[in-house]
Amino acid sequence: MVNLGGALSTCLRAPHFITPCGKTKGGFTLLELVAVCFIIAILASLVVGIYRSSLNRFEAPVCAANLRNLHVSLSSYMQDRGQWPQLPEGVGQGTSAEEEFWADALLEYGMPQKSWTCPTLRRLAREKTVSSAPKIHYLPSLFDGKSFTPFRWKEIPWAMEVGDLHGNGNLMIFSDGSIRSYKQVYEEVLRSGSYIRK
């Protein structure tokens, strides 16, 4: 066994930094560690914020597809029955009974329960970001029983998303099947000075 002396043991120790005075200094100061932790925390919060907002935007096309499916189901219902679905007497607006009515009324016309839910709101409910999510995330308009009423006013949405979940206001679908956000409709109103287009 060869004894290499103190040279090898010095080389195997943790690296040291030599200060201008010639003294060795090991590790970092508390201030340096706090500064690094602070910078990492700021970067992490920026990344998480960007990730969440991009998720909301990526889920918007799924919401639009759900609204298109709702439009097709409502159109099929009107072709079959000759009128817009009418809430039964005693069913209040904004109640769970209303949600069940819409889900049941359009189920046979190709609107499954999964299509009633926005993926963003489902994710937020799973993450416990929102206190509770309704059964349906798109609210159909309440027209009277006349067959022409849903087509009479082109700028009244057939259905609207329950909240601004994708960043530009609630998504809405209109009688022609077009989908616009609340922000887009509001900007059209400001440009034209009137809500009803000619």
Domain ranges within the chain, ordered by starting residue: 29-192
Question: What pLDDT is stored for residue 94 in this prediction?
Answer: 85
Residue 102 has pLDDT above 70, yes or no: yes
pLDDT tens, 133-169?
Answer: 788 899 999 999 888 889 888 888 999 998 888 888 8
* Distances from the Cα of 137 to the Cα of 80, 122, 163, angstroms: 25, 9, 8
Residue 11 has pLDDT above 50, yes or no: no
The arithmetic mean of pLDDT across residues 102-121, rounded, is 91
Question: What pLDDT is stored for residue 194 in this prediction?
Answer: 64
pLDDT tens, 12-51?
Answer: 454 555 556 656 567 889 999 999 999 999 999 888 878 8
Q: Is the Cβ–Cβ distance between 117 and 162 less than 8 Å? A: no
Question: What pLDDT is stored for residue 190 in this prediction?
Answer: 87
Question: What pLDDT is stored for residue 23 in this prediction?
Answer: 60
Nearest 5°: phi and psi at 18? -100, 125
Question: What pLDDT is stored for residue 24 in this prediction?
Answer: 58
CB under 8 Å, gap of 24 or more: what pairs does 16-22 form?
Answer: none
The arithmetic mean of pLDDT across residues 184-198, rounded, is 75
Q: Is the Cβ–Cβ distance between 136 and 99 less than 8 Å? A: yes
The separation between CA 96 and the C-alpha centre of its own chain, rounded to angstroms, equals: 22
pLDDT tens, 52-100?
Answer: 777 777 888 999 999 999 999 999 999 999 999 999 999 988 888 999 9
Q: In whole angstroms, what is the distance from residue 13 CA to residue 196 CA?
A: 79
Question: What pLDDT is stored for residue 12 in this prediction?
Answer: 47
Q: What is the β-pairing status of strands 179-181 and 159-161? A: unpaired
Three-state DSSP state, 83: coil
Q: What is the β-pairing status of strands 17-18 and 24-25? A: antiparallel
State the DSSP H helix or E strand holding residue 194, giving kind and residue range, or none if neither: none
Structure-token match 């602070």, residue found: 38
Higher pLDDT, 109 or 20: 109
